[in-house]
């Protein structure tokens, strides 16, 4: 095997051997070793089938987040498997005016509302976190309710169909938009005017009863409320006697009696003002009505219905049985009291 090339001198004698071919061989061997090493390194970053290991799942440290305007939070992303070739994620926000996020998952709340922060792997796997942002400013005022120029009581008492005017006032003495509401379908409120309801079913001790919570709130959410209770007492005064509403009442012919309805004022049952209701006799020939006074006639004995018209609603008060000369009507009505003799 030839190891070199020997040149001839001018006089014909052999010169030194040159090793150019040997150098080329050594260089080629070294280059091949480097390429082999690089190939082995590349193979170590790939799977058994000589392909890149791609992410198979992505999860975030939070799936929902509640922040105030100006708050920040750092979300963390977990990419699996851990030996994935590239575990980087790209962060984005579905509404950058409300929520911002940088390339490290650092979230900042910018405005009231909600948006999603989305993370995405190099092969398109996505995970998201819903971020809700609330106002950080607490209104620097309060709302109170007033009635008749003074602070409204915690509970308003009245009778069905009556009204009360409430006024909302803020502690900062500025103009605000107010929203009124009632917890009952019977008691209503319109721009602070409360109309007391009748209720649905009688309650023990009451012929009619209804209660509600009347609430007012400003545009900033500042609120105040009162309870509203309306009632009619189950008993009414028939002359000097106390009778139950809807009962039978006996009365001697030629006599008169005053009828008084009551309502609960928070402490006791109090007469409803005379102007608030009127009485109505089904048969004036047996029982005449004048104002709140009923009078039985001398001519006839019998019975008739006495009803009340209160704030546009009529309801049965009692059945009045008139006796003449101590004799009871032949119709045989039941009695709940002895005849009154006024």
d(CA 231, CA 158): 7
In this prediction, residues 69-89 reach a mean pLDDT of 93
Phi, psi (rounded to 5 degrees) for 114: -145, 155
Q: Is 117 left (phi over 0), alpha (psi -120 to 50) or beta?
A: beta
The pLDDT value given to residue 312: 86
Most confidently modeled of 22-31, 118-127, 307-316?
Answer: 118-127
Average pLDDT of the chain, as a whole number: 82
What pLDDT band is residue 40 in, cutting at 50, 70 and 90?
A: very low
The pLDDT value given to residue 239: 81
Q: Regarding predicted confidence, which is higher, 136 or 59?
A: 59
What pLDDT band is residue 48 in, cutting at 50, 70 and 90?
A: low
Is the per-residue pLDDT at 6 higher than 90? no
Question: In which residue are the tokens 């609120």 written?
Answer: 223
Q: Peptide bond before 90: cis, by omega within 30 degrees of 0?
A: no
pLDDT tens string 223-261: 999 999 999 999 888 887 888 888 888 888 888 889 999
The pLDDT value given to residue 225: 96
What are the residue boundaries of the structural domains of the chain, listed by start? 57-134, 143-231, 234-323
What pLDDT band is residue 12 in, cutting at 50, 70 and 90?
A: low
The pLDDT value given to residue 98: 92
Q: In Å, what is the CA distance from 330 to each residue of 34, 135, 318?
A: 130, 77, 19
What pLDDT band is residue 266 in, cutting at 50, 70 and 90?
A: very high
d(CA 235, CA 244): 4
Architecture category of domain 143-231 in CATH: Sandwich (2.60)
Report percent pLDDT > 90 for the chain: 55
pLDDT tens string 273-307: 999 999 999 999 889 999 999 998 876 678 899 99
What pLDDT band is residue 50 in, cutting at 50, 70 and 90?
A: low
d(CA 219, CA 135): 13
d(CA 133, CA 69): 6
Candidates 3.40.50.1400, 2.60.40.1080, 3.30.420.10, 3.90.1150.200; correct CATH number of 57-134? 2.60.40.1080
Does residue 142 contact residue 171 with C-beta atoms inside 8 Å? yes
pTM of the shown model: 0.56
Classified by CATH at the fold level, domain 234-323 comes out as Immunoglobulin-like (2.60.40)
Q: Do domains 143-231 and 234-323 have the same CATH topology?
A: yes
The pLDDT value given to residue 2: 45
Report percent pLDDT > 70 for the chain: 78
pLDDT tens string 152-189: 999 999 999 999 999 999 998 889 999 999 999 999 99
Residues 6 or more apart whose Cβ sits within 8 Å of residue 86: 52, 55, 121, 122
């Amino acid at each position: 095997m030839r190891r070199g090339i020997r040149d001839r001198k001018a006089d014909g004698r052999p010169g030194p051997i040159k090793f150019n071919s040997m150098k080329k061989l050594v260089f080629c061997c070294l280059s091949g070793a480097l390429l082999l090493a690089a190939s082995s390194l590349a193979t170590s970053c790939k799977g058994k089938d000589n392909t890149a290991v791609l992410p198979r799942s992505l999860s975030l440290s939070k799936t929902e987040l509640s922040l105030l305007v100006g708050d920040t939070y750092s979300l963390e992303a977990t990419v699996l498997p851990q030996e994935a070739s590239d575990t980087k994620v790209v962060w984005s926000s579905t509404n950058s005016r409300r929520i911002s996020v940088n390339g490290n998952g650092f979230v900042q709340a910018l405005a009231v509302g909600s948006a999603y922060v989305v993370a995405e792997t190099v092969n398109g796997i996505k995970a998201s976190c819903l971020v809700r942002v609330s106002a950080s400013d607490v209104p620097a005022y309060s709302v109170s309710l007033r009635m008749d120029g003074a602070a409204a009581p915690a509970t308003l008492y009245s009778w069905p169909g009556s009204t009360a005017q409430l006024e909302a006032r803020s502690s900062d003495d500025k103009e605000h938009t107010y929203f009124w509401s009632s917890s009952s379908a019977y008691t209503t409120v319109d721009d602070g005017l409360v109309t007391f309801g009748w209720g649905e079913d009688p309650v023990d001790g009451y012929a009619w009863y209804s209660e509600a919570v009347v609430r007012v709130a400003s545009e900033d959410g500042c609120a105040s409320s009162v309870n509203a209770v309306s009632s009619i007492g189950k008993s009414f005064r028939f002359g000097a006697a106390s009778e139950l509403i809807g009962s039978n009442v006996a009365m001697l012919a030629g006599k008169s009696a005053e009828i008084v309805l009551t309502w609960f004022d928070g402490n006791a049952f109090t007469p409803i003002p005379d102007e608030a209701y009127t009485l109505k006799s089904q048969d004036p020939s047996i029982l005449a009505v004048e104002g709140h006074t009923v009078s039985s006639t001398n001519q006839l004995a019998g019975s008739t219905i006495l009803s009340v018209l209160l704030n546009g609603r009529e309801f049965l008060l009692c059945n009045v049985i008139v006796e003449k000369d101590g004799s009871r009507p032949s119709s045989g009505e039941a009695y709940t009291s002895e005849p009154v003799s006024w």
